[in-house]
Amino acid sequence: MRNVHVLNLGAGVQSSALYLMAREGRIPCDVAVFADTGEEPALVYQHLSHLVSLGGPPILVRSAGKLGDDLMHGRNSTGQRFASIPAFTKDAAGKVGMVRRQCTKEYKIEVVDRTIRRELLELKPRQRIPMDVTVYQYFDISTDEAGRAERGKRRFAAVRHTVPVYPLIDLGWSRTDCLAYLRERLPYEVPKSSCVFCPYRTNQSWRHLKRTDATGWDRAVEIDTALRADGSIVTRGFRQKLFLHRSCEPLAGIDFDALAPNTLDPLTVGECHGVCGL
């Protein structure tokens, strides 16, 4: 029998706590995989470098390409049609909707799966995982979002050889517990991990990005504008215009100081399976 223990490292609060626990031998971990969309804030990449420097379990940084560039060029790294991000739309009656998200699957889940198959198990394309191998995948879902763990378990129910593990749920740890744990071990606050242009943001989070990360903000505005550019390949197949912000207004013109704090729309949360750091 061979057991392989893989941590899905999103480099946000919860998965960073898991990584440090693995480093302390509190959970088994042969390797951590960071699926890089190429679009994280600079602070996340600095944090990742710090984790690497600690000399814990190896961290493999793997990528399917730079998500925003692929969006704007209309194709992904394999030359297929771009993977859509969960952008907002508004119909003529003013009803707000959201585009089906493909980015998590192509730029996160499949990157981790490919790394496990090709690099850890050294399988050829389409080769089956040997009967005597079990892969334990560790996810960073805390008690605040237990519903995501249930959805994750359902995703893996039919996947032979792979067992999802949720150590934070097992420990009864919330995000607050993770923050307290990290504060004792890191000399800085762990930044939020997600693409700078991810539409899964509150008004507070957009305001924070704009005030604290000029490069990330500019990139978000660039992608938001590209979503509606005349003739843009991204807009083909969509009757309505696409926006990053739920108001369906161009991001560059939104006055976040004038907007009330909000929470994430329940319709938009919860399908990242602990791999997007959201």
What are the residues binding ligand SF4 (CB under 6 A)? Answer: 37, 85-86, 101, 103-104, 107-108, 194-195, 198, 200, 272, 276, 278
How much of the chain is in helix, strand and coil states, percent to nearest 5? 40, 15, 45
Residue 40 CB, nearest approach to ligand SF4 (Å): 8
Q: How many Å apart are CA 68 and CA 53, to the nearest integer?
A: 28
Q: How many Å apart are CA 262 and CA 178, to the nearest integer?
A: 23
Of the pair 105, 161, the CB lying nearest ligand SF4 is at 105
Of the pair 102, 240, the CB lying nearest ligand SF4 is at 102
Long-range contacts of 229-234, Cβ-Cβ distance < 8 Å, separation of 24 or more: 232/72, 232/74, 233/73, 233/74, 233/82, 234/71, 234/72, 234/74, 234/82, 234/84
Residue 271 CB, nearest approach to ligand SF4 (Å): 9
Residue-level length of the chain: 278
Residue 175 CB, nearest approach to ligand SF4 (Å): 17
Residue 72 CB, nearest approach to ligand SF4 (Å): 14
Of the pair 18, 278, the CB lying nearest ligand SF4 is at 278
Of the pair 103, 112, the CB lying nearest ligand SF4 is at 103
Contacts of 113 (CB under 8 A, 6+ apart): none
Residue 106 CB, nearest approach to ligand SF4 (Å): 8
Residue 70 to residues 164, 198, 222: CA-CA distances in angstroms?
30, 15, 13
Of the pair 101, 246, the CB lying nearest ligand SF4 is at 101
